[in-house]
A and B are shown apart, each in its own frame.
Chain A
Amino acid sequence: MKMDTTNQKKVIIIPCSGIGKAFGSISRDATFEVTENLRKDNTQTLCLALLVSGDEDSKRLVRDNKCITVDGCPLQCAEKNVKLAGGNLTGSLRVVDTYKENRHLKPRSITFLDPDGQQMALKLAEKIAEKVDGLLEDQ
């Protein structure tokens, strides 16, 4: 059944800005997969750096909409900063947990995701999409 999205607020998905590790790239790839493909009508993403810098539009966006953070590593910068901005955090995911569920995948490359990294990003995107669906059903 197709969901009626009229007048629905969007779920904001905020990936981490991690560099130097494949997991940061995976968090962003997975986010784009959801916002541009899997659930493009119901989601949008936001630049974490803009939020951290105090941009008012970004702060309003995370306060007025349900947010899901996607962090590459256990430091969870995206989650912490959405909370600090007073955002409506309704879910947080970590790439490392997707790795725990898919131990055979060993993403290495950082600048361009290798096949294992791409596969992990898709698996994570599916988890994000499931969370989005749960939030939309609650609305």
Chain B
Amino acid sequence: MNEYLRTTYDKFELRVRQGFYYTKDDLWVSVENGKARVGVSDYLQKTSGDVAFIEVAKPGSAVEKGKDLGTIESAKTTVPLPSPLSGTLEEANSKLTGNPELVNSDPYGEGWLVTLTPSNLEDDRISLLSADDYFKLMLEKLQSEHGKLESK
């Protein structure tokens, strides 16, 4: 299995990491040993532009699915980040403090945003999308928002 599902739009290649869950708001979730790691998708970082500011809830705080987890901000836009899961925020990625551009350069890796201890993972997971389903949604967004698409 390839690590990524890929498509091209204009000069950009857009990737969706297989094995992760996704929200309709373009965040990804990776669950391992009961802990969830959250970041933004390649699509979101590319359409947002160069990220200069990241604000997320404080470690130890309770977060609620669909409610404010934080924001990413570029010169182009400020994007609110609805939490994909309910739970307790364990850790914010300290590397992003001085290097918010990691969200752009490695959205599925070093550019992760936070880790959470989910409080209701089984129920919350039902509304998350598989990589395949998110890939289809991303293609629809590209089609409707940008109008031209070359799938591979």
Which A residues are closer than 8 A to B by beta carbons?
21-23, 73-74, 96, 99-100, 103, 105-108
Q: List 6 A-B contacts (CB under 8 A).
A: A23-B75, A96-B50, A99-B52, A99-B75, A100-B53, A103-B73
CA distance A21 to B77 in the complex (A): 13
CA distance A96 to B104 in the complex (A): 13
Whether, in the assembled complex, B105 has its beta carbon less than 8 Å from a beta carbon of chain A, the answer is yes
Known: A107-B75, A108-B76. A74 touches B53 (CB 8 A): no
List residues of chain A with CB within 8 A of the CB of B73. 103
List residues of chain A with CB within 8 A of the CB of B105. 74
List residues of chain B with CB within 8 A of the CB of A100. 52-53
Whether, in the assembled complex, B49 has its beta carbon less than 8 Å from a beta carbon of chain A, the answer is yes
Q: Which size class do B's interface residues fall under?
A: 10 to 19
List residues of chain B with CB within 8 A of the CB of A96. 50, 52, 101
Number of A-B residue pairs, CB cutoff 8 Å, is 26
Contact present for B104 and A74 (CB under 8 Å): yes
Partner pick for B50 among A23, A103, A105, A106, CB 8 A cutoff: A23
List residues of chain A with CB within 8 A of the CB of B53. 100, 103
List residues of chain A with CB within 8 A of the CB of B76. 106, 108
Q: State how many angstroms separate the Cβ of A4 from the closest Cβ of chain B.
A: 40
Contact present for B50 and A22 (CB under 8 Å): no
Contact present for B75 and A106 (CB under 8 Å): yes
Q: State how many angstroms separate the Cβ of B29 from the closest Cβ of chain A.
A: 25
List residues of chain B with CB within 8 A of the CB of A103. 52-53, 73
